Amino acid sequence: MASLGCMMAELYMARTCKWGVLRVMGGDVWNHSGDVLITPANNRLSGREGLDGMIHQKAGKELTQVTRNICLDMRKINAPPCAVTKNVITEPFALG
């Protein structure tokens, strides 16, 4: 099996809506541009493993600091940083 770094991006789905075209892609997406990148993460938003870790590495320290601050804020109210079925939206930082 090829490593993730040398795979080509694959278009899984494209749908047109009133705001534009939604494209769902997988594989090596680093050389593609888009308005949003939806990625898996654990509920701690740690950015230490798997695809989440790769994204944190490419986005830079700013993403790690933002997700760390989200974690601290959520702990103040005794909630998980990113509960199952929830999402977190950040700037793209060095990905953009």
Residue 82, in any domain of the structure: yes
* 63: region left, alpha or beta (phi > 0 left; psi from -120 to 50 alpha): alpha
Total of domains in the chain: 1
CB-CB contact of 13 with 38 (8 Å): no
Give the domain range for residue 70.
37-96
Residue 22, in any domain of the structure: no
Residue 51, in any domain of the structure: yes
Residue 54, in any domain of the structure: yes
Residue 68, in any domain of the structure: yes
- Tell me phi and psi for residue 13, to 5 degrees: -160, 145
Segment 30-77, tens digit of pLDDT:
877 878 888 888 888 999 998 899 999 999 999 999 999 999 999 999
Please enumerate in sequence order all residues whose Cβ is within 8 A of that of 50, keeping only pairs 6 or more positions apart, or say none. 40
Residue 23, in any domain of the structure: no
What share of the chain has pLDDT > 90, as a percent? 43
Residue 71, in any domain of the structure: yes
Does this model's pTM top 0.85? no
How far apart CA 60 and CA 93 sit, in angstroms, is 7
